[in-house]
Amino acid sequence: MRRALTLALGGLMLAGAAPAQDLAEGRKVAGMCRTCHGLDGYAKVPIAPHIGGEPQSYLVEQLTAFKTGRREHEMMTVVASGLSPQQIVDVAAWYSAHSASASLPAGADPAAAPEMCVSCHGADGISELETAPNLAAETNIYIDTQLKAFRSGKREHEIMSAIAADLTDAEIRAYADWYAASTLTITPPPDQ
Ligand code: HEC
Ligand code: HEC
């Protein structure tokens, strides 16, 4: 909740600080993303992650990684290679101007959340860091795939590669199931 508020305020500050057309441009670019990620960043297909309300810096970083080949995916590599650096900044501004909040399934005990992950990804999957993505309500297939990509070296990140290196398939499955069970709410920026 606190995080959702911070994000909402962050979104407002962003809208205030950046030229208005950035968000409008970003919304236009998001037209290319909507079939998979939705216009509000709530994914429409199970293999695509929710991106609404993610930190702007994280979104820019990942899109740039797909564009430069540091992260690879048959769909996203094609999409990102067609975006200019300005379009990347604008579309990231659009999605990050949304706010994300999450709740655990009824009866779930936050104390049972994966201990190794909560300091950065939260108990309910809302990130505690500007550099880390939300995991709430991502499909277990998506989370599983990413953790195995970090483990095999297909995707690299100094923190996540080290964490994933020691995870068993069963642990990966259990963490993926925990975060996939959260419910995610994405709220569009005001006036959009
Ligand atoms: C045809 C479907 C499709 C389209 C269109 C698409 N994406 Fe994706 N996107 C995906 C998939 C699938 C992944 C997961 C890639 C992986 O497994 O590494 C992804 C991953 C991402 C990620 C990484 C998120 C994370 O949590 O790490 C970002 C950011 C992203 N997409 C942004 C965009 C933007 C912005 C657009 C439009 C300009 C777009 N995508 C268009 C399917 C799509
Ligand atoms: C010290 C902080 C930290 C901890 C602890 C941590 N993560 Fe991460 N995680 C990150 C960061 C930062 C990223 C972004 C990596 C990148 O930029 O590619 C990330 C990315 C991920 C992703 C990719 C999500 C996406 O949208 O593509 C998954 C899945 C993930 N973490 C799962 C976990 C799990 C499960 C645990 C516990 C076993 C965990 N993480 C522990 C910081 C952390």
pLDDT (tens digit per residue) in 32-57? 999 999 999 999 999 999 999 999 99
Give the separation between CA 155 and CA 142, rounded to whole angstroms.
13
Q: Examine residue 192 and state whether it is found in any structural domain, yes or no.
A: no
Tokens of 74: 């048959």
Q: Examine residue 32 and state whether it is found in any structural domain, yes or no.
A: yes
The reply to whether ligand 1 has any atom less than 6 angstroms from the CB of 53 is no
* Å from CA of 99 to ligand 2 middle: 19
Write the residue with the smallest CA distance to atom 15 of ligand 2: 157
Give the separation between CA 69 and CA 118, rounded to whole angstroms.
30
Is 189 a residue whose pLDDT tops 70? yes
Residues near 107 by beta carbon (within 8 Å), at least 6 away in sequence: none
Express each pLDDT in 164-184 by its tens digit.
999 999 999 999 999 999 999
Burial (CB < 10 A; 0-12, 13-18, 19+), residue 88, is buried
User: What ligand has the least distance to the C-alpha of 119?
Assistant: 2
Structural domain count of the chain = 1
User: What ligand has the least distance to the C-alpha of 76?
Assistant: 1
CB of 53 within 8 A of CB of 185? no
Smallest CA-to-CA distance from 184 within 72, 43, 16, 21 is with: 43
Give the separation between CA 8 and CA 96, rounded to whole angstroms.
9
Report the residue among 56, 121, 128, 145 best suited for mutation to probe ligand 2: largest number of ligand atoms under 8 A from its CB.
121
Range of the domain at 151: 2-105+113-187
Is 8 a residue whose pLDDT tops 50? no
Instruction: Please give the radius of gyration of the chain, using alpha carbons only, rounded to the nearest integer.
Output: 16
Is 84 a residue whose pLDDT tops 60? yes
Lowest mean pLDDT among 11-25, 67-81, 98-112, 156-170: 11-25
pTM: 0.91
Smallest CA-to-CA distance from 191 within 3, 39, 12, 53 is with: 12
Express each pLDDT in 113-168 by its tens digit.
999 999 999 999 999 998 999 999 999 999 999 999 999 999 999 999 999 999 99
* Å from CA of 111 to ligand 1 middle: 32
User: What ligand has the least distance to the C-alpha of 144?
Assistant: 2
pLDDT of residue 7: 47
Give the separation between CA 78 and CA 172, rounded to whole angstroms.
28
* Å from CA of 41 to ligand 1 middle: 10
CATH of the domain at 56: 1.10.760.10
Write the residue with the smallest CA distance to atom 8 of ligand 1: 76
Is 86 a residue whose pLDDT tops 80? yes
* Å from CA of 19 to ligand 2 middle: 32
The reply to whether ligand 1 has any atom less than 6 angstroms from the CB of 27 is no
Q: Examine residue 173 and state whether it is found in any structural domain, yes or no.
A: yes
